[in-house]
Amino acid sequence: MEKTTFNPITIRKDFPILNRKVNGNPLVYFDNAATSQTPQQVIDVIVDYYSNYNANIHRGVHALSQEATDKYEQARIKIQKHFNAAKPYEVIFTSGTTHSINLVANGFSSILKAGDELIVSAMEHHSNIVPWQMLCERTGAILKVIPMSEEGELLLDEYYKLLSGETKLVFCNHVSNALGTVNPIKTIIDAAHEVGAAVLIDGAQAAPHIKADVQELDVDFYTVSAHKMCGPTGEGMLYGKEEWLNKLPPYQGGGEMIAEVTFAKTTYADLPHKFEAGTPNICGGIAFGAALDYMNAIGFKEIAAYEHELLHYATEQLLTIEGLRIYGTSKSKTSVISFNIEGIHPYDMGSILDKLGIAVRTGHHCAQPIMDFYKIPGTVRASLSFYNTKDEVDVLVAGIKRAKAMLL
């Protein structure tokens, strides 16, 4: 695909789902932070896989297996290049960010001892809290929290106070799923390294908007879910520095991950296979690569610039609605707007918007600590993507006004 001038109207034609109607109204899809939509180019790759070269990889002697293996390993290299990992085997295919985080948390069980300290940010998704709490229960390590401000920004001075020689791991999202805040991860990583702690960055919400360079960040682990960036569900990656991936024990045992098995002893395969037990989501991995191709052809800079313009427009328009409050007002944000209207439960707002064909997310967004911080049951979250338009923002604003008139 050749790079052309960014035009959301042309881009929308790549997404068949955007033509459908919901409850009799044209779909306005503003739940992109939960799952992005899939362009025809990626759908074609999925169909091609199952139509032409579906086979198990790495072990087969036959042509289809070789083709599937080649395509799968090419996808790994695409992902490696996209995130600028030093080696292809530093990219581990997983089922997504949750799987990636659990893999690392499980590995640290054999490294941590009682009294070691872990630091988490106050604005994490449950998937970047619970695996670490489970790790603390297993090892006796202690979990500490970086607090945040009313604007939804991490208080770095408080973070520096938490760091010490006892700190072994710091984990934080690159972008908050509930607030859209882009966290200063380079600063967080550098400060952690000064005390010798490793850092895992949950990149699930950043990857659709920001092209992270793992070497420049000097991050130890970085996690991504394909379905948030035009790829399929049940697919993602864990980037880990080679030295760390060698230090961690395997997560799951099975086929593919072994070098030699006898009943006396099993030796494990080299990276990345050590962490890829069993038959993986082969088609998913290949389609993930295709999704990166698709987004790179449009250009991440172009995507970010347009989404920023959309965010600015949507914020301005939403704030014209009386009683509407936006949660997460950091200057550094992706195109996520979490809001409530005084006197209206987010769930009621979401239900009415759904009847109007507008898809938003409501609730705590798997980030209950943030909702507790603001003392609210949840928010309505509109998350915008590069294939959304200002016209759709206008439909949302009109929908909210109509719902407000009904509900108050």
Partner 1 sequence: MGIKEIQEEIVDEFSMFEDWMQRYEYMIELGKSLPLIDEKYKIDGNIIKGCQSKVWVHAELEGDKLVFTADSDAIITKGIIAILIRVFSNQKPQDIIDSDTKFIDEIGLKEHLSPTRANGLVSMVKQLKMYAIAYQTQLN
Residues that bind partner 1 (CB under 8 A): 23-24, 344-345, 347-348, 350-352, 354-356, 362-363, 377-378, 406-407
Q: Which is nearer to partner 1, 25 or 56 (CB)?
A: 25
> Under a CB-based contact definition with an 8 Å cutoff, are residues 178 and 208 in contact?
no
Q: Bridge partners of 173?
A: 202
Classify the phi-psi angles of 337: left when phi > 0, otherwise alpha if psi is within -120 to 50, otherwise beta. Answer: beta
CA distance linking residue 355 with residue 245, whole number of Å: 48
- Positive or negative, the CA dihedral 206, 372, 151, 308 is positive
Tokens coding 296: 């790179």
Tokens coding 403: 């719902």
Least distance between partner 1 and beta carbon 242 (Å): 43
Q: Which is nearer to partner 1, 132 or 339 (CB)?
A: 339
Q: What angle do CA 219, 224, 229 make, to 5 degrees?
A: 135
Q: Which is nearer to partner 1, 213 or 348 (CB)?
A: 348
CA distance linking residue 171 with residue 218, whole number of Å: 14
CA distance linking residue 31 with residue 298, whole number of Å: 21
DSSP letter at 270 equals P
Max Cα separation, the chain? 72
Least distance between partner 1 and beta carbon 355 (Å): 6
Residue 53 CB neighbour total at 10 angstroms: 19
CA distance linking residue 116 with residue 131, whole number of Å: 16
> Under a CB-based contact definition with an 8 Å cutoff, are residues 267 and 259 in contact?
yes
Can 136 be counted among the known catalytic residues?
A: no
DSSP letter at 269 equals P
Q: How far from chain centre, in Å, is Cα 244?
A: 21
Q: Which is nearer to partner 1, 27 or 304 (CB)?
A: 27
Least distance between partner 1 and beta carbon 402 (Å): 9
Least distance between partner 1 and beta carbon 364 (Å): 9
Q: Which is nearer to partner 1, 233 or 389 (CB)?
A: 233
Spatial CB neighbours of 23, under 8 Å, sequence gap ≥ 6: 354, 355, 356, 357
Spatial CB neighbours of 298, under 8 Å, sequence gap ≥ 6: 3, 6, 11, 386
CA distance linking residue 196 with residue 78, whole number of Å: 31
Q: Which is nearer to partner 1, 24 or 165 (CB)?
A: 24
Helix (H, G, I), strand (E, B) or coil at 315: helix
Least distance between partner 1 and beta carbon 403 (Å): 9
Least distance between partner 1 and beta carbon 24 (Å): 8
Count of alpha carbons within 13 angstroms of residue 234, beta-carbon side: 5
CA distance linking residue 370 with residue 223, whole number of Å: 21
Q: Which is nearer to partner 1, 305 or 406 (CB)?
A: 406
Least distance between partner 1 and beta carbon 212 (Å): 33
Q: Which is nearer to partner 1, 63 or 406 (CB)?
A: 406
Please tell me which residue in 172, 230, 283, 366 is annotated as part of the active site: 366
CA distance linking residue 305 with residue 307, whole number of Å: 6
Least distance between partner 1 and beta carbon 320 (Å): 23
Residues with a known catalytic role: 366
